[in-house]
């Protein structure tokens, strides 16, 4: 019951509004950074490298090994 009591105290203090504002600002910042990278940075970089399209470009760091299940 301590967790529920602490949450009620947190909600009553008005911190819920601060939390909601933080979530909204974080989501907006995520969209801005994502758009900046995909629309501004990557097209010129792709042209410099040789008209490479990064949408389908993948680097395999380590091949996957099938897991053995012992019975």
Say what the pLDDT of residue 1 is.
63
Q: Is 64 left (phi over 0), alpha (psi -120 to 50) or beta?
A: beta
Say what the pLDDT of residue 71 is.
67
In order along its 71 residues, the chain shows pLDDT tens digits of 688 888 777 777 777 778 888 899 999 999 999 999 888 888 888 788 877 776 777 787 887 777 787 76
Beta-carbon contacts of 53 under 8 Å, excluding residues fewer than 6 positions away, are 46
Question: How far is it, in rounded angstroms, from Cα 33 to Cα 8?
Answer: 35
Say what the pLDDT of residue 21 is.
86
Size of the chain in residues: 71
Q: Report yes or no on whether pTM surpasses 0.75.
A: no
């Amino acid at each position: 019951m301590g967790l529920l009591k602490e949450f009620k105290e947190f909600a009553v203090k008005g911190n819920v509004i601060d939390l909601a504002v933080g979530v909204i600002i974080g989501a907006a910042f995520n969209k801005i950074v994502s758009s900046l990278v995909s629309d501004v940075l990557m097209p010129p970089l792709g042209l410099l490298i040789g008209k490479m399209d990064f949408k389908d470009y993948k680097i395999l760091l380590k091949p996957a090994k099938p897991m053995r299940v012992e019975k």
